[in-house]
Amino acid sequence: MSLSDADYHAKAHALLARIEAQIDAWLEGDVVDIDTHRTGGLLELGMPGGSKIVINTQPPLQEIWLAARAGGYHFKWDGSQWLDREGQEFCLRLSRCASEQAGQVLTFAD
């Protein structure tokens, strides 16, 4: 499903903001120490132990990219959620990658 540029940017930036808000809540609750650094459409998560997860918007392709130790994933908006080529929803994939890299269960909600 193709979005207007404005809709893509709104959905992509809302997703990044939700991720940042979840991490802030974990930091405040002393659940896990994840450092975040955001530059425009790129969000870098510094995980415990020194590994990283990078989430990057790709406006020309209208995709969200996720790079983690487990691999790289590309997500497209299907009309209701961000899905990768295997049909995996973004927050589910991010939760799995973050849990693996943090060594504890972390759940990002859509």
pLDDT per residue as tens, the chain (110 positions): 688 999 999 999 999 999 999 999 999 999 999 999 999 999 999 999 999 999 999 999 999 999 999 999 999 999 999 999 999 999 999 999 999 999 999 999 87
pLDDT at 24: 95
CATH placement of domain 5-102: 3.30.920.10
The model's pTM is: 0.93
What type of residue is 2?
S
Identify the H or E element spanning 52. strand 52-58
What pLDDT does residue 2 have? 80
